[in-house]
């Protein structure tokens, strides 16, 4: 079963690349942030619990997120395999995932690297579709019609946790969590580093090349 993890700090382009890869490889896109936002929109118990953590830019408790992800993995859509986006965020979550799918269950882990100042610039202009979660950027990837999603015509908005005062906190939390996670997957020999500071297509090609699914451009 083809399961891949995309790792990287907030704003690195995980969501964009995960969507492209899932379409290209025919795998489900399992994005924990998107799932949690959907729970919030639907007003579920989990959504209510998640709201405070997400607004503060903090991680939800591991057991809550692990339960949600394991539930998703049972679904038909995940049968062919999946791209994990935003999960695991802690070593505890990585251990739980390995327990659930076995040590070979995760094939490779792609770490998208982008300098921090580029991330801050990207996030301050980020807009997301309320309905289908497609990401845009005010300057570098604007929608064809202002405020409307090109894909589903849904309304575009700035996520509450993309506001400048929250972005700094999210980056700090994520950096602290990321290093042990990178070490965990490096020890398993699964970690692949990819330059995320390129155009969308070039990053996708770099990912496919790292996975051995495309010859690198010479
Ligand atoms: P994201 O859309 O991946 O940036 O996630 C948005 C927010 O959802 C994060 O800042 C966390 O509050 C929460 N979240 C998403 N994924 C996880 C996870 N794997 N563990 C804990 N919290 C998460």
Mean pLDDT lowest for which of 30-44, 47-61, 143-157, 158-172? Answer: 158-172
List the structure tokens of 37: 């936002």
Give the catalytic positions in this structure: 14, 89, 126, 159, 170
209 vs 34: CA distance, rounded Å: 27
127 ligand 1 Cβ < 6 A:
no
- Residue 142: CB atoms within 10 A of its CB come to 14
Task: Supply the residue whose CA is at minimum distance from atom 10 of ligand 1.
Answer: 57
Distance 50 CA to ligand 1 centre (A): 9
In terms of Cα–Cα distance, which of 192, 19, 3, 168 is closest to 94?
A: 3
pLDDT at 215: 62
Per-residue pLDDT at 132: 92
Segment 28-77, tens digit of pLDDT: 999 999 999 999 999 999 999 999 999 888 899 999 999 999 999 999 99
Dist. CA 52 → ligand 1 center (Å) = 12
Is the per-residue pLDDT at 216 higher than 80?
A: no
pLDDT reading at 168 higher than 90? no
The confidence score (pLDDT) of residue 218 equals 55
Tell me, in angstroms, the distance from the centre of ligand 1 to residue 152's CA: 24
Nearest-5° Cα angle at 217, 116 to 183: 40
**Of residues 199 and 69, which shows the higher confidence score?**
69
Report which ligand 1 atom has the smallest distance to the Cα of 86. 3
Residue of 32, 176, 181 best suited for mutating to test ligand 1, as the one with most atoms within 8 Å of CB? 32
Q: What is the pLDDT of residue 73?
A: 95
């Amino acid at each position: 079963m083809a399961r891949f993890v995309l790792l990287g700090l907030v704003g690195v382009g995980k969501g964009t690349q995960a969507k492209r890869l899932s379409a290209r490889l025919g795998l489900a896109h399992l994005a924990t942030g998107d799932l949690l936002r959907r729970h919030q929109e639907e007003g579920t118990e989990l959504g209510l619990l998640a709201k405070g953590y997400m607004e503060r830019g903090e991680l939800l408790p591991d057991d809550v997120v692990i339960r949600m992800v394991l539930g998703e993995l049972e679904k038909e859509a995940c049968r062919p395999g999946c791209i994990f986006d935003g999960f695991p965020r802690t070593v505890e979550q990585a251990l739980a995932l390995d327990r659930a799918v076995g040590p070979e269950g995760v094939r490779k882990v792609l770490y998208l690297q982008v300098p921090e100042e580029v991330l801050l610039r990207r996030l301050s202009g980020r807009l997301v579709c309320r309905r289908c979660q497609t990401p845009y950027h005010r300057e570098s990837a604007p929608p064809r019609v202002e405020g409307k999603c090109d894909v589903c015509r849904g309304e575009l908005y700035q996520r509450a946790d993309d506001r400048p005062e929250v972005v700094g906190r999210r980056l700090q939390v994520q950096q602290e969590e990321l290093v042990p996670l990178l070490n965990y997957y490096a020890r398993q020999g699964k970690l692949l580093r990819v330059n995320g500071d390129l155009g969308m297509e070039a990053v996708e090609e770099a990912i496919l090349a790292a996975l051995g699914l495309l010859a690198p451009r010479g």
